[in-house]
Structure 1
C-alpha cells in the first residue's frame, strides 16, 4: 500500500511509516462468546466500561491478541500498550466470569497524574488519556517525527483521523486550509436530537467578523470570513462523544439523542462526492445519573460472535438490538465497514416447496437480508417479506429494522416479490441487523431464551426437532421427524447464509451443552442438600439418645451426686425422701 493510504489532498505524505497499514485487520480473526466482566474496585465503573469498549474494538483486539507489541517492545518501565495487551488477553481468554483489572488500574497515576484510586472520574477523559498513553508507547524511541509520520502508528491508524479547518475570505474568496489530528469527535447536543443533526452542526460554517475577523494574506487586512471544519481523513474506528456534561456547573443534559446502527460519514467529509463511508456501531458507553460528579457507567458491546452484551462491571449478560439503541449514550464507537454496499442488488433462487422446512423458510428470508453482503443483516419487517428477487437499499433499512427510524438514510424500502415468505411452525426469534439468537420470547406458561425453541418444541408436543450439521450441509427435522432440506439446497445458498447457518448450529449446540452442565450442577446441589438433611437428622437423633442416657445416669447416681455437691446434712435431708421421689 505504501504511502498512498496516508496521503490526503493538501497534506504532506509521511516521511516514515511506523506500522504497515495492511497488517491491520478490521474484522475479528476468531469468533467467540463475550469474555469476562470486570470487578468494581471502589468507584472504578468509569475504567471498567472504557476498557470493555476498547477490548471489543476489532482491529485493536486482533493486534493485542497476537502479542506482536510485547514481542518487540523495548521500553523500560511503564508501557501502556503492554498493559492493554495483558488486559485484553486476560479478559478474552479467561474462564472466570469476572476478573480484577489490576493490569491497568495499578498504573492509573501513570495514565493521568490527576487520576486517583477510589475517585469517580469522567469516562471520556479516561478514554482520551488511555489512547494518548497508547500512542506515546507506540512513538517511544521515535523522535523528531513530522505529524504525518506520527499518525502512522497502529493506535493512530485505528482511532485517529484528520480535521480540515478551511477559512474563506468573504471579500476576495481566498482559501486558507489547516489540518489537525483527532482521536474522537465531540458533538454538541444542546440543539440536536440525533447524531446526524449534531454532525451537521459540527460541519456548519461559522462566521468570523467583528472581534473575530480574519487576517487575509491576499487582502492584507482584517476581513470577515467563514470557517468550516470537515473530516479530511476518516479514522478506521470512529469515537463520538455526546457532550452531556457541563464541567463548570456539574450539570448534565439528559435529553434523548438518537443514534443509528449504521452511519454514513461521507456527507461530513471534505470530499462529499464519492463512495459512502459506512460505519457499524459496536459499542455504546452509558452514564446513568444526574450530574458528572455522581452516577454510574456501564456499556453495551458487540462481541466477536456478532451478539450484543450489556457489561455492567462484573455482570455480562446478553441483550437485544433495540435495547442498545434506546440508551442515554455518552460515547459511541463505530468501526468502518468497507464490505457494506448501498443499493446493492442480488438475485436468489425461487423459494423451496417444503413449506414446513425451517431451513428453507429461514434461508428464503435471509437471502433478502444478506443482500448487502454483511454479517449484520436487517430483520424482515413483516411476514410477507420477499423470498424472490429483491433490491434492498440502505435508504430503506430503517423500515426493515423493527419499525425504528434510522437517522442516516432517508427513503423507503424498494422490493419486488412474487412469493410471500411463510414463517416456520416453531419460531426462531431474530432481531434487526444482528440475528440476535439470545433475544427473549414470552410464551403462555413461561419465558425462555431464543436458543430453547428446539428443545421446547420437542418437549411440549412429543415431536422431534433436531439440527444436524453434516459434511454435505445441514438439515432440520420437525413435526414427527419430517425430512428437511436437501443438502444440495444448502450448497445453493449464498456463502453468507451458509456461514450464518453454521453459526446458528454451533450456538444451539453450545447452548444445549451449557444447559446440560447447569442441570448436572443443579442435580449435584440437590443431592448434596439431601445428604446434609439426612446427616442433620442423624446428628439430632444421636443427641437425643445421649441426652436420655445422661438423664438415666443422673437418676441412678442421684444420692452420690447429692453427697458430693451438697453439705452432709442437706444431702441427708434430700436422701430421706421416699424412694419414689428419686425417679422422674
Structure 2
C-alpha cells in the first residue's frame, strides 16, 4: 500500500487559529453549530439568530462579504473587520456568513482547519437526513441526534437513508467538491477542469503516471504529477465528501515559491504554472518528435496548439512569418470605445457590465490585421531598414483541448491603476474555428487566389464543444472563482466544496474568465460515462455508481 510522504501535511494554521483552539478546543465549533444552516440545494451558510438579514454591526450594511465573530457572534463587513478586531482583544477569528469558511481578522485572510470542515459537513449530513425523513419520525430522530457528537462523521454516515445515498450517487463519478484551504478557489476551479478534461483523466486513470512507481518517490523528491495522480484517485474513488488537496498545494508551493502564500492568485496563471510543472516532469521521461520538436508530454498533447504571426512591411510588402506554440489563447474584450471614455474621465470604476461582447468578436479582434505604431518599427529583411508594418495573428494548428482566456483584468503602469472589466461576454457552446485558421486567413488576405501552404491546411476537426467554464465574480481585489462543468449534457456548478446542478442559462450569464472546448473527434466523447471504468492496475478502487449504469 502506498505510504503517505511524511513531508506532506495540511497547511500550517495561523497563530490566531492555534491560540483559539488552545483556549476553546472543539467546544467553540460545537457551540457555533447553531448558526449553521443548510439550504435545500446542499449549501451550508451562516444564519444570524437575531435577524433574518445579516447586517454589519458598524455600518448596518448587508452587501458584499459579511463575517460573524466566533467569540461574540457580532457581524462585520469587509470594511470593518479590522475595527472589530482592534476594539475587541482576542476576537481574531470569524466565519464567512455566505460560505461558512473560517476567516482571520488579524491576518485579513481565510484559514483552513480540518476540524471546522468536519463541523460544517456533519451539520450538512444531519440536515440531509432530517429533510428526507418522514414528519412522524422527525422528532424522534432529532432526539437521537442530540446524543451524537456532530463532529464524528463515522457515526452520522450510517444514519443516511438508502434513498439519500442513491440520490447523491447519481452524480457522475469524479464529481466531488474541493475544500477551500484559504483563498484557494483559484486552484480548486482549475483542478476541477483538469479532473474532467478527457485526455488528462484517461492519462492518469490508466496509470500513465503512477505515483507508486514514480522515479522521484524513492529519493523523497516532490513530484507534482504524483500529487495530481493522488487527486484523481481520491476524486474517482466514489466518495462524494469534499476532498482537501492540501498535499498538492504544498507541492505546488515548492515549485512556485513566489506564489507560496495564502493570497488570492490568478486562475489563468495557476493553469499555466501547473502545465509547466507537468511538462518539466514528463518531458524528461518521454521522447520528442525529432522532425518538428513537438513535446509528447500529456500537457502539450492535450492543450498545445500553434500560432502563426505574419508581419508585412508597408513599404515593399515583404512578409515575415513566425510560428509559436501555445497552450491557450488570450483574447481582448472589444471595449476600446468604452475604455477611451473612462480614461478621458480618469475613472477607475469597473467597466459597465451592461455592455456586451461576443466570443466571435473577440476572435475576430485577435486575428484582425494590426498596424504597429511608429515606435514599433521592425527591421525588413527585403528593405534592410526599419519599416512600419502590419501584424496579423492566426491559428496554424488547433489543440485537442482549446482553452480561451478572456482578459478581464486591466493594468495601467503609467497611471498605476488596475481594474476589472465586468462586460458580459456571449459565447456559444459549439464553436467552429475554421474562420480563424491560418489557411482561411491567408486565402482571405489574397482574395482566395492561393491555397494553404507550408502545412497551413484546414483541420478536419475544427469544430469544438464546450465542457467547462471558469467564472470570476466580484472585484479585482476581492473576487471568487467557480467552475461550471458539463457532464452528460447536464451542467454542474463547482463552488469549492459545494456541487450543485444548474441550468445552461446560469452558465451563459456568468462572467466567464476561461472557457474550455473539446475537439469533436470520435476518440473523446464529451458526455462519456466514467462510472464504469475498469479497476486501475494498481488496484485503486473506482466504485461503480448505483443508478448511473
TM (norm. structure 1) is 0.51
Distance 1:190 1:209, change over 3 A: closer
Which aligned pairs between 1:421-460 and structure 2 lie closer than 5 A?
A: none
Correspondent of 1:258 among 401, 423, 426: 426
Contact 2:466 2:516 in 1 (8 A): yes
Residue in structure 2 matched with residue 115 of structure 1 by the alignment: 259
Where structure 1 has 5 or more consecutive residues not aligned to the other structure, the ranges are 1-30, 341-372, 377-433, 435-505, 514-584
Q: Closer, same or farther in 2 for the Cα pair 1:89/1:204, shift >3 Å?
A: same
**Equivalent position of 2:215 in the other structure:** 74
Task: Report the equivalent of 1:297.
Answer: 481
Task: Give 2:202's aligned residue.
Answer: 62
2:271 counterpart (117, 121, 127)? 127
Cα 1:56–1:72 shift into 2, 3 Å = same
Verify: 1:138 aligned to 2:282, yes or no. yes
| Structure whose alpha-carbon radius of gyration is higher | 1
Aligned CA distance change for structure 1 residues 253 and 92 (closer, same or farther; 3 Å): same
Of residues 218, 225, 234, the one that matches 2:398 is: 234
> CA 1:226/1:72 → structure 2, altered by over 3 Å: closer, same or farther?
farther
**Counterpart of 2:326?**
182
Q: Label 1:323 to 1:34 Cα distance change in 2 as closer, same or farther (>3 A).
A: farther
Aligned to 1:315: 498
Change (3 A) 1:139 1:41: same
Q: CA deviation at 1:160?
A: 0.9
Does the aligned pair in 2 maintain the 1:65–1:88 contact within 8 Å? Answer: yes
Tell me if the contact between 1:34 and 1:92 (Cα under 8 Å) persists in the aligned partners: yes
- 2:510 aligns with one of 319, 323, 327: 327
More displaced stretch, 136-145 vs 155-164: 136-145
* 3-state DSSP of counterpart to 2:278: helix
Q: Give the Å deviation of 1:87.
A: 0.8
Q: TM-score, normalised by structure 2?
A: 0.54
Among 345, 351, 360, the residue aligned to 1:196? 360
Q: Check the 8 A contact 2:468/2:517 in 1, yes or no.
A: yes
Aligned-pair distance for 1:193? Answer: 0.4
Measure the CA separation in 2 of the matches of 1:209 and 1:105: 43
CA displacement at 1:95 relative to structure 2: 1.3
Does 2:317 align with 1:173? yes
Aligned partner of 2:467 in structure 1 is 282
CA distance in 1, matches of 2:423, 2:382: 45
- CA deviations 1:141-175 (Å, max 9, x no partner) are 57999894353222101011111111122333222
Displacement of 1:196 in angstroms is: 0.8
Aligned position for 1:214:
378
Classify 1:108/1:250 alpha carbon distance in 2 versus 1 (closer, same or farther; 3 Å).
farther
Structure-1 residue corresponding to 2:188: 48
Cα separation, partners in 2 of 1:182 and 1:66, compared to 1, 3 Å: same
- Aligned-residue offset at 1:63: 0.7
User: Which of 225, 230, 243 is residue 407 of structure 2 equivalent to?
Assistant: 243
Q: Where does structure 2 lack aligned partners over 5 or more consecutive residues?
A: 1-170, 336-355, 441-456, 529-543
The alpha carbon displacement at 1:138 in A equals 1.1
Q: In 1, Cα distance between the equivalents of 2:418 and 2:377?
A: 33
RMSD: 3.0
CA-to-aligned-CA distance 1:82-118 (integer Å, 9 cap, x gap): 2111112211224132111123112131242122342
Q: CA deviation at 1:374?
A: 8.1
Measured after TM superposition, the shift of residue 339 of structure 1 is: 5.0
Q: 1:89 aligns with which of 205, 225, 233?
A: 233
- Which region of structure 1 is more displaced relative to structure 2, 224-233 or 244-253? 244-253
Map of 1:158 onto structure 2: 302
Bigger relative contact order, structure 1 or 2, given CA contacts below 8 A and separation 6+?
A: 2
Shift of the 144–335 alpha-carbon distance from structure 1 to 2, 3 Å rule, reads closer
Secondary structure of 1:219's aligned partner? coil
- Distance change (3 Å), C-alpha of 1:223 and 1:231: same
Q: How many residues align?
A: 319
Higher helix share: 1
Change (3 A) 1:321 1:34: farther
Q: CA deviation at 1:135?
A: 1.1
Equivalent-residue separation in structure 2 for 1:54 and 1:310 (angstroms): 15
* Contact 1:189/1:242, CA 8 A, preserved across alignment: yes
Q: Is the 8 A contact 1:285 1:332 kept in 2?
A: yes
Go from structure 1 to structure 2 and tell me whether the alpha carbon gap of 1:147 and 1:225 turns closer, same or farther (over 3 Å shift): farther
CA spacing shift, 1:206–1:244, aligned 2, 3 Å: same
The corresponding residue for 2:175 is 35
Q: Which structure dedicates a bigger proportion of its chain to strand?
A: 2
CA contact (8 A) 2:471 2:510 kept: yes
Aligned pair in 2 of structure 1 residues 375, 161: CA closer, same or farther (>3 Å)? closer
Distance 1:147 1:170, change over 3 A: farther
Q: Distance in 1 between matches of 2:200 and 2:287?
A: 24
TM-superposed deviation, 1:288: 1.1
Mapped partners of 2:313, 2:198: distance in 1: 43
